[in-house]
Structure formats: C-alpha cells, structure tokens
Amino acid sequence: MFTPRPIGFVTSPYKDTVAIPKGLGARHEAEGVLRILPEFDLGLAGIEGFSHLFVLWVFDRSGPFELTATPPSDNQPHGVFATRSPRRPNPIGLTVVELLRREKGSLYVRGVDMLDQTPILDIKPYLSSIPAESLRRGWLAEAEALKH
C-alpha cells in the first residue's frame, strides 16, 4: 500500500456539491486553477503542449462508501464502479479538463467539476487511441435514449 499525498489543490467556483452540474446533459464548462505545490513545479515542464489533461483528485468531503448508487441521470441503482458517485471504496475522482494556460505552478483550466480546495493527486496528458465510434456508454446510453 502507499499513502497518497496531494501535489496541489483546485481553485474552483464550486463551494457546495449541489452547485456542480450533474445528470444527463450536464456541461462542465466552469473554469478553475490547478495550483501545484512548489516542490512539484518541475513536473509541469512541457505540459503546455497538451490541450487536455486527466486530473486525479480526492473526494475529500464524501461520506462512507456504498457499493451501489443511483445516478441523477437514471432511476435504477448501478454498481458504484459503473457510476461517477463520490461514495467509493477509494474516493478518487477523475476529470478531463482543457488546459487554457500555465502560469508557473498554476494551470488555468476549463471543465472543473470539483469543489474548491479539492486535493489533486496527479495530472496526466489526455491521450487516447480509441476511436470515438468504438466507445460504448453502457446504461448511460439507455438512459439518454429514454430522455429523447
């Protein structure tokens, strides 16, 4: 086992989870800043060349985990690993953000869906070799079809 430690913290417009868009058609267009701690600043070298980033972060204000969750976009319970519920055995979040610019240890991004001061565990450049037409959306595609 390892003990994760934050490499930085999110500056976000969201102070409360009810303000974060959720459910079918939710758009994550809020801008925020990934403020990286000075001891990790060197790790940002070359990041400016990427348009999008994966951000791994901690659901540091979620409750105890549950193995099933009923998402706001469906009225059926699903296994927690088939959802984006914050109540997970390991409360790790994953978000794709658009990198707008870097200013020293601060990454200005669009697409935050985290609360203000959320701890950041890691950042990786967004890379995918999977064509969009090969991706499946599971139960979410069924829920979207019912809404249309």
Q: Which of 43, 90, 98 is nearest to 65 (CA)?
A: 90
pLDDT tens, the chain, 148 aa long: 889 999 999 999 999 998 998 877 788 899 999 999 999 999 999 999 999 999 999 999 999 999 999 988 888 999 999 988 999 999 999 999 999 999 999 999 999 999 999 999 999 999 888 788 887 878 877 887 877 6
Q: Is 102 helix (H, G, I), strand (E, B) or coil?
A: strand
CB 51 within 8 A of CB 111: no
Where do the structural domains in the chain lie, given as residue ranges? 8-147
pTM above 0.85, yes or no: yes
Look at the domain 8-147 and name its fold.
Answer: Elongation Factor Tu (Ef-tu); domain 3 (2.40.30)
Query: What counts of helices (H) and strands (E) characterise the chain?
Result: 1, 8
What is the spatial distance between Cα 82 and Cα 138, in angstroms, rounded to a whole number?
8
Widest CA span of the chain, in angstroms?
Answer: 49
